[in-house]
Amino acid sequence: MIQGLLRKLSAVAYDVTVGLLQQYKRTTIGLARIELAALYVRAVKLIRQECMIFTLLLFAMIFLANVFAVIQMAILLYAPWSVPGRIAAAIGFGIVSAVLPLLAVLKFFSEKRWMEMTKAEELIARAMESGPGTNGTG
């Protein structure tokens, strides 16, 4: 009689444990899905912001290039300089026209800027806080 009671009690304990584990599994999967959805939303927001910045930067670069070209032409055509002076000015304008966009592109695509924009440093810091072999709670 006691053995039968112990078997029933162990069966109930087993069922409760399995039920709790299944509930924990469902809860964990649900929380993981919520976290992934939040990460997806953040990624979409970041991509949207970057596309807007890129579009505005492209528009500004095209506009500034046109303005810069018109100003150069006006200076070269209407300046009271000799031909060698105009040639020297045209070479100087050409050098500046090549160097300024190069500097802008190098600054925009620098690793430091992208680490800041993507907040990768924060991710690395959080990963380092939790450390390997921990459960990520800090």
Q: Percent of the chain at pLDDT above 90?
A: 7
Residue 59 pLDDT: 92
- Residue range 17-31: mean pLDDT, rounded: 87
* Residues 9, 2: Cα–Cα separation, whole Å: 10
Q: Identity (one letter) of the amino acid at 43? A: A
- Residue range 104-125: mean pLDDT, rounded: 80
* pLDDT surpassing 50 at residue 79: yes
Top pLDDT among 122 and 80 is at 80
Local structure of residue 134 (DSSP, 8 states): S
| Distances in whole angstroms, Cα of residue 2 to Cα of each of 5, 12, 13 | 5, 15, 16
